[in-house]
Amino acid sequence: MQRFYQARDELEAQLLIDYLGSSHIQATMLGRYQCGAAGELSALAYPWVYLMEGRDLARAQELLAEFRLGPAQPGLSDWDCPQCGTRIEAQFDLCWHCGVGRPL
């Protein structure tokens, strides 16, 4: 195992682990549940994401850079659902009314 990234909280750590997993990089979190000891531990005790295989480090660093940028969807604009005609904001890929996906 190789220490990889210190997250702000357990949620960020788990989201990163899932993001890495979508590219077949196995990772785990250590330092989980430290918030239960609030006041007893240092305020700087954040969870760490560890890579299971050191050989995944270079690709994991690329994915971390993408992850930290957040969802990038340049050039997208609001769209109209092809099934029900509902106006959908650009950041959404599914119609909130009928569930149909954004047209390609």
- Residue pLDDT, tens place only, 27-41: 999 987 665 555 665
Same domain assignment for residues 32 and 46: yes
pLDDT at 19: 93
Q: Measured between alpha carbons, how far is 9 from 34 in angstroms, rounded to an integer? A: 10
- Residue pLDDT, tens place only, 44-94: 568 999 999 999 999 999 999 988 887 655 667 889 999 999 999 888 889
pLDDT at 4: 97
Structural domain count, the chain = 2
Same domain assignment for residues 58 and 99: no
Same domain assignment for residues 51 and 102: no
Same domain assignment for residues 19 and 55: yes
Q: Please give the residue range of the domain that contains residue 80.
A: 73-104
Same domain assignment for residues 16 and 57: yes
Same domain assignment for residues 65 and 96: no
pLDDT at 56: 96
Maximum Cα–Cα distance across the chain: 55
- Residue pLDDT, tens place only, 2-16: 999 999 889 999 999
Entry pTM: 0.61
34 in Cβ contact with 7 (< 8 Å): no
**Three-state DSSP class for 88?**
strand
